[in-house]
Chain A
Amino acid sequence: MTSDKVKQLNDADFDTAIQSDQPTLVDFWAPWCGPCKAIGPVVEELAGEFAGKVSIAKMNVDDNPVIPGKFGIRAIPTLIVFKNGEVVDQVTGAVGKSQLVELINKAL
């Protein structure tokens, strides 16, 4: 399931990672969450398709309490797209690939 195309972010390196003017999609997830598992392969696929244009990352909310709290994450999976350190938009739940592409396109 893990691919080197998907970055694993943590509380310490998150802020630096989202500063870029190249958009970053962050998938906030946890290993025990079913819908997170369901959406996993889609996120991997996006990492391949948007390689070089958008950086695709995941953050495990179990291991990282600070950043999910800062962004008010109260449900997973939540996927947020960032650009220049700012939130562009977000979705919650195991949505389809086309909805995630739509989300990413808002930042491109």
Chain B
Amino acid sequence: MGKDHYELIILGGGPAGLTAGLYASRARIDHVLIEKGAPGGQVLSTDWVDNYPGFPEGLSGFDLMEKMTSHAKRFDVNILTKEVVSIDLNDQVSKKIIFADDSVITCDALIICTGASPNKLGVPGEAALSGKGVSYCGTCDAPFYRNMHVAVIGGGDTAVEEADYLTRFARKVTIIHRRDELRATKILQEVVYANKKIDYIWNSRVIAIEGEKEVERLQLVDNDGNTSSFDVQGVFILIGITPNNALLPLEKLNADKWGFIQTDTETRTVVPGVFAAGDIRSKLMRQVVNACGEGANAVIAAEHYLKSKSS
């Protein structure tokens, strides 16, 4: 591991980071990919991926990421398992990565692929009952809810997919959504509307999660301000994502109002030699397919940067 400087550092091992690693390794760029745990990212928790081209039967997110990881390893992508606490871009020539154990490595070019994490509701009871009926991952925790009644909060792709998955175990799944229609892709809506175990509470938000030792009920408020209590044994919170940007110097990187990093079409950030790819990037759509494309693109853009610097 001993090296303390690389031409290129890739931060994060989800689809964008692994693809960047693959392209960097094949381009024989001196690189390291840093990931705090096993590679895979958020997709590891995705039950089923049906929209990644080349897999006509679909496959689980877990399997897809195993394949991407072994693909990266086949080309000797250099992966370092270590927790980063901050990035120092004060010296734009030599970017600093600071680890939890206070050690530091530097690089000429940096590709940020730190991804995103599920949003929290931010209501009373949520933190205290986390892991005790409050969950952010249906595919992880669904088997603990056999024959129970659970709520899914949200109306996007993930919420709808997870609601459908949960019906394999739960007796009943209630989707609670703040609007009067789902936002999910039409084909996914068709699946849940056909599922008899799913019902809906529209135009409503959760204002509290209650229970003695485990989740027992939700307090809801509808768009007219009427409150009600709703008994459930579990609640799955799937209301979008928040960028993993805590370790990034946002004031230097030109983040959008949600904290995602803005780049040009070639994934360049405002800091020369710093690129962003995947879910951390400010953009319209966050899918595996474009994360991979951006990861590859970022390596080529980084290569241009490295060449221009050395010439």
Residues on A with C-beta less than 8 A from B141 are 74-76
A97-B36 contact, Cβ under 8 Å, with A38-B44, A75-B137: yes
Shortest C-beta distance, B129 to chain A (Å), equals: 9
Residues on A with C-beta less than 8 A from B21 are none
Residues on A with C-beta less than 8 A from B136 are 93
Task: State the main secondary structure of chain B at its contact with A.
Answer: mixed
Q: Is the CB of B234 within 8 A of A74?
A: yes
Question: B84-107 vs A: 1/0 string, CB under 8 Å?
Answer: 010000000000000010000000
Of A37, A75, A97, which is within 8 A of B131 by CB?
Answer: A75
Q: Is the CB of A75 within 8 A of B135?
A: yes
Shortest C-beta distance, B149 to chain A (Å), equals: 14
Residues on A with C-beta less than 8 A from B134 are 75
Question: B138-158 vs A: 1/0 string, CB under 8 Å?
Answer: 011101110000000000000
Q: Is the CB of A40 within 8 A of B37?
A: yes
Q: Is the CB of B144 within 8 A of A96?
A: no
Of B38, B81, B131, which is within 8 A of A74 by CB?
Answer: B131
Q: Is the CB of A72 within 8 A of B140?
A: no
Residues on B with C-beta less than 8 A from A40 are 37-38
Whether, in the assembled complex, B273 has its beta carbon less than 8 Å from a beta carbon of chain A, the answer is: no
Q: Give how many A residues have a beta carbon under 8 Å from the other chain's beta carbons.
A: 26
- Kindly report which residue of chain B lies nearest to residue A44, judged by CB atoms: B81
Q: Is the CB of A92 within 8 A of B44?
A: no
A35-B44 contact, Cβ under 8 Å, with A75-B140, A97-B100: yes
Cα–Cα distance between A78 and B134 once the two chains are bound (Å): 13
Of A41, A73, A98, which is within 8 A of B38 by CB?
Answer: A41
* Residues 202-220 of B at the A interface (beta carbon under 8 Å): 213-214
Q: Is the CB of B38 within 8 A of A38?
A: yes
Q: Is the CB of A32 within 8 A of B131?
A: no
A34-B140 contact, Cβ under 8 Å, with A39-B37, A97-B36: yes
Q: Is the CB of A98 within 8 A of B131?
A: no
- Kindly report which residue of chain A lies nearest to residue B42, judged by CB atoms: A34
Residues on B with C-beta less than 8 A from A74 are 131-133, 135, 141, 144-145, 214, 234
Residues of A within 8 A of B (CB): 30, 32-42, 45, 72-76, 78, 90, 92-94, 96-98
Could you list 22 examples of A-B contacts with CB < 8 Å? A33-B137, A33-B140, A34-B43, A34-B46, A37-B44, A38-B38, A39-B37, A40-B38, A74-B141, A74-B144, A74-B234, A75-B135, A75-B137, A75-B140, A75-B141, A75-B144, A78-B131, A92-B131, A93-B136, A97-B83, A98-B83, A98-B85
Residues of B within 8 A of A (CB): 36-38, 40, 43-46, 61-62, 65, 81, 83, 85, 100, 130-137, 139-141, 143-145, 213-214, 234
- For the A-B complex with A40-B37, A74-B141 known, give 10 more contacts whose Cβ atoms are closer than 8 Å: A32-B139, A34-B137, A37-B40, A38-B38, A39-B38, A74-B234, A75-B130, A93-B131, A94-B37, A98-B100
